Structure formats: C-alpha cells, structure tokens
Amino acid sequence: MDITDTPISARATNKLSDRKIKAFIDKATPGRKLADGGGMFLTITAARTPVWRIKYRLADKEGLYSIGAYPEIGLEAARAERTRVKDQLRRGHDPVQERRVERAKATRESFETFSDAAMAWLEKNRKRWSAIHYNKSKRAIERDVLPRLGNLPLAQIEPVMVTNMVKAILSRGVRETAAKILQHVTDIFEYARAHGLRSDNPATPAQTVLPPSETPKGRPAFLTWPELGGVLRGAEAAHLSPAVRLAHRLCAFSATRISNVVEAEWPEFHLDDETPMWIIPRQKMKAKDRHHDHKVILGPTIAAELHSWRDTKGGKGYVFPSPQGGKHITREALEKAYRETLGLADKHSPHGWRSAFSTLARDNGFERDVVELTLDHVHESDVVRAYDRGERLEQRAKLMAWWDAQLTQGQRGADVVPLAKRKA
C-alpha cells in the first residue's frame, strides 16, 4: 500500500487499523509508506523502525513532521497528534518550529537553580577537558560555590551574592583560586544566558573585588642553597601532616608540578627498578602532545622516603590520601603549608622548586636541553623538540642525582660543592 505523499487536508482520514499496520510492518521494506490520510503515514526507516510522519504545506513550503515510532506511539495517539498539527497549521504556525520552541522551554525549566546550570555546564565541557581539569573544576565549584549559590533560582541571584562568595575565598589568601572559580561562575551564567534564563551576567561586577596578582612575573622562589636548605629544615620541624610533609619533599626533590604531586598514584611509581622512576601519564601533564609519558628520575633520598611511605600505606590508590576523607590532599593544602605554617608567603612556594632547579642546574653547567626535558617544559626550538623523542635519560639521571645530593647537603646545613662549569 505505497502512497504518494499529499498535503495534510487532501484525503480522507482514519484509513488504518492495527491489523493493517502489523501486516504492513511484517512485509514492508525500508522506504515503504502506509497512509492513514490527512498527510499522516507510517514509514519504515533504514533501521527497519516503523515511524509516524506528517507531510504538510504552509506558505507554499512543504514540511515533514515526525511523530514517533510505532508501537510506542499507537494509532490513536498518532491521530491525536495529527489533529493538534492541523490546528497549528490553521493558525499559521509551523509545527516543527512550534516543537523546537516547546523543547527550548523544557530545557529552560530544567535549569531552575544555579546548581542545575553548573552541573549542565560541567557535563558540556567534560569531553573537551582532561579528566584532571574536569574533576578539579567540579570539586572547586562544589566546595566554594554551591554552598552559597547552589539552591538559589538563577533569576534571583544578584551581583552582591557572587561578590560575597569571591570575598569568602579571598579571605583564605588564595587569590588565584578565587580568580579561577570566578571565571567558572562567569561562564556558567553565560551558559544560562544562552538558554534564556538570564538577560545579564551577575558575576561580571565581582571581577572588581579581585586584588592584582601578586606574582605577575612568576611564583616566588628561593634561588640559593642556604635558603633552600632552610626551607627543608623548617618543614621537618613544622607541624605538618605526614602526607603534606612528604608531598612537599617530592615537590622539592623531583621539581615536578604541584598538581602532579598531589594527584600522584602508586602505579606510576617504579621504586624497585635499578633507577627508581616516577612515570606520569601524558594525559596528566600540561603538555599533552608529546610522544611519551613523562619520566621523573628519583634520587636516592626521595626514593627511599617513598619506599618507606609505600610500606606504611600499602601502595594502592593515591600516594597522598586526604586525612579529611577526600581522594587526595589538595594543592591548596600544600600551598597553605608554605604560606602560613612555614611563613613563606611571597618568598617561596611549592612551584618555586622548579624555578630553583632550573636556575641552579644551569648555573652549575647542566645543558639547557636536559634541564628543560626534566621539567617537561614546552619546547620552542626544533633542536629541543627533536631531543624530546630521545628523552636523554642518562644525562637526566646524573642531573637528578646531583640535585638530590645538593638538597640533602643543604638540609643538613653543610656547604654544597658546585660542579665544574660545563659547556652548554
């Protein structure tokens, strides 16, 4: 019973019965159609699914409206939808456009609170973000934003509410954290605006309460052996949790980014190899377009401490589990230990070990390429990028053994002996 599609009002309606429909489905091939009249017909898709459709004409333009699949949409339900579509056409409304408007309204209604919009925004970004960045952003929003704004209707949030949230974060002395979270909140409100839930962005005025960045040219860092040794001694004498203490030492002895340290997992560590090594998966690194995971060679001092820590903790999951019940300690916990417990605000930071390592290694004759590869910096020159494939592990092992020995001597308060200058 093939048909030639016709305008919605051209033929008699209600031609079909469930018996006729089932007989048609049993024998029909993809593309065949069975008419009920009034422009409505059942057709078989390429996936052999029977679906209801209505062909119509409005303002001399033809359109095709899809009702849904049979038998989920039964014959009577399909006819009721045809009646509704005919009514829309009589009023000059395009049924396809009307449905788009209805779906947009439904989407709008689903974002009633800030929490709804925040979760939808996070989900939208999940595919394009790394897992680390997604989880970090989600934790920050849940920790600092949702307790204040989460249950509020989007339309009722005023700029002063966002400002007070930012001030609460700034009161902890974490300016960069406040700036990053405010950027997330700003983006969430922009997302809400795109869905018609706001005509403005109440997060924009809160930018004015952020103080200027205190370290526009880089994070603070000590660059002399006596100062670095003093930091190590101070941390040993301070009241730090065991996890924060060892995380601090791993930052110092590996010159690795703080995010990689706090999120380190035991399967990444190969402490029993002839050359102990920490292999960080490339997806965890800042530069994700390298040909290999990042290998961090561990000197004897930090390797022994990690070995002992593994024996105590069991060697499963995160290396530095959070004592508060989270997955692992946070970078803020480590930064706060430097800033407040050790009194190093504006003097030295966990990231400062990377600056100290880069400066002192070059001052003591190590080749720039070897230092840059050890730090996994983004390389600007073709020469360094070529070395990136080879990794230069032998030279890096010598560099890390030297760094380990120098820090150990510095911690003891003993004089360190610079290497003879080498040609770079």
Q: Using one digit for the tens of pLDDT, what is the confidence trace for 17-44?
A: 999 999 999 988 888 999 999 999 999 9
Q: What is the tens place of the pLDDT at every residue in 325-358?
A: 668 998 889 999 999 999 998 899 999 999 999 9
Peptide bond preceding 71: is omega within 30 degrees of 0, i.e. cis? yes
Whole-number pLDDT of residue 40: 94
Q: Cα 13 to the chain's mean position, in Å?
A: 54
Task: Say how far apart CA 17 and CA 58 lie, in whole Å.
Answer: 29
Q: Distance between CA atoms of 206 and 147, rounded to whole angstroms?
A: 18
The pLDDT confidence band at residue 155, using thresholds 50, 70 and 90, is confident
In this prediction the pTM is 0.50
More reliable by pLDDT, 282 or 379: 282
Question: Residue 415's pLDDT band (boundaries 50, 70, 90)?
Answer: low
Which pLDDT belongs to residue 326? Answer: 67
- For the cut 50, the answer to whether the pLDDT of residue 283 exceeds it is yes
In this prediction, residue 11 carries a pLDDT of 52
pLDDT reading at 147 higher than 60: yes
Asked whether residue 45 carries a pLDDT value surpassing 70, the answer given is yes
> Cα(149)–Cα(169) distance, rounded to whole angstroms?
14
In this prediction, residue 378 has a pLDDT band, given cuts at 50, 70 and 90, of low
Question: Would you say residue 382 has pLDDT above 50?
Answer: no
Predicted confidence at residue 3, as pLDDT, reads 38
Indicate if the pLDDT at residue 400 is higher than 80: yes
Lookup: tokens for 134: 């997604």
Check residue 175 and give its pLDDT. 84
Is the pLDDT reported for residue 2 higher than 70?
no
Q: Which residues contact residue 86 at a Cβ distance below 8 angstroms, ignoring those fewer than 6 apart?
A: 8, 9, 38
At 87-139, the pLDDT tens digits run 999 988 899 888 887 776 655 545 688 999 999 999 988 877 778 888 889 99
Average pLDDT, the chain: 85
pLDDT(424) > 80: no
The residue-averaged pLDDT of 71-83 equals 92
Helix (H, G, I), strand (E, B) or coil at 219: coil
CB neighbour burial string for 75-108, b if at least 16 within 10 angstroms, e if fewer: beebbebbeebbebbeeeebbbeeeeeeeeeeee
Give the chain's domains with CATH numbers: 18-107 (3.30.160.390), 114-209 (1.10.150.130), 225-412 (1.10.443.10)
Of 99, 108, 118, whose CA–CA distance to 195 is shortest? 108
